[in-house]
Amino acid sequence: MTRSITLAAIQFSPSDDVQANIDRVAGFVEQAAGRGADVVLPPELFCGYYFCKTQEEEHFARALPWETHPAVVQLTEIAKKFDVVIPVSIYEKDGPAYYNSLVMLDADGAALGVYRKSHIPDGPGYQEKFYFGPGNTGFRVWDTKKGKIGVGICWDQWFPEAARAMALMGADVLLYPTAIGAEPQDAGLDTAARWRRAMLGHAVSNVIPVCAANRVGDEQGQAFYGTSFISDQTGEVVAEMDRAKEGVIVATFDLDMIDRERAAWGFFRDRRPDLYGSLL
């Protein structure tokens, strides 16, 4: 039997009401499942407003242990109900440490583990180093009931090393939950196109489908530009959202065909790790 996988990305504008946002994601998951999705990707930190634009101590209260986080607990039942994999992006508290984390829920609702964002940005409007420690899990690829899934979180998506590491670990697809938009220091700077091109390069160089889910809309003066997309293994965009709408996009891939194509291109055959010492 041919292996295939159907990916879905959710694009929406969260409120600052945790339960309302979880309910909305659950509704979008149901929509995606109705369109045949195997894996449904919500945006980064979808439980509330993107709070990292400034440094405010009160926001540490948003973090919770992943095992008891309401998004994880409730979406576990949704994953099981609709037989879909859901990568759940949360603000995690682990003892005295805080992380921008993702919990992978398998299609039977099992929590397969946690990935903690490796690359933490720090700049105008995106002051994440105040809130998150650097991830200590390393990159992760989960062998889910629907396929082998690698996930990077937002700023991770700009780094080719992260994509290549997950591909080397056997990922069938790469997913990137995201929160990105306006640059407050420069109103004329629009990174939407280069954001997409960076990930399309990962698709090409690793012969792998890529799915990115972004938030959209204005949050207390900070605008997020949406443009969520799914690309195939050649870097061709096969499904996308615009800068305004909320909703779900879906695309299906033949994983056996992609495996053959990846082998035929020879990127992994012709790698020269013996020459890459300068990367370290």
pLDDT digits (tens, 9 = 90+) for 56-80: 999 999 999 999 999 999 999 999 9
211 catalytic? Reply is no
Q: Residue 1 has what pLDDT?
A: 79
47 catalytic? Reply is no
Rounded distance between C-alpha atoms, residue 23 and residue 197, angstroms: 32
Q: Residue 235 has what pLDDT?
A: 98
Beta carbons within 8 Å of 46's beta carbon, 6+ residues apart: 10, 12, 14, 21, 25, 71, 89, 177, 215
Q: Which CA distances in Å does 269 have to 76, 195, 213?
A: 39, 28, 31
pTM of model > 0.95: yes
Set 53, 93, 117, 146: catalytic member? 117
Q: Residue 148 has what pLDDT?
A: 98
Rounded distance between C-alpha atoms, residue 246 and residue 216, angstroms: 7
44 catalytic? Reply is yes
H/E element, 137: none
Set 47, 53, 146, 154: catalytic member? 154
Selection from 88, 112, 92 nearest residue 102 by Cα = 88
275 class by beta-carbon count within 10 Å (0-12 exposed, 13-18 middle, 19+ buried): exposed
The single-letter code of the amino acid at 143 is D
Radius of gyration of the chain (CA): 18
Q: Which CA distances in Å does 232 have to 38, 40, 199, 203?
A: 16, 16, 11, 7
Beta carbons within 8 Å of 255's beta carbon, 6+ residues apart: 2, 3, 4, 5, 147, 172
How many residues does the structure list for the chain? 280
Selection from 42, 40, 20 nearest residue 32 by Cα = 40
Residues of the chain with pLDDT under 70: none
Set 44, 92, 128, 219: catalytic member? 44
Q: Residue 2 has what pLDDT?
A: 84
Contact 78, 86 (CB under 8 A): yes
Rounded distance between C-alpha atoms, residue 180 and residue 126, angstroms: 9
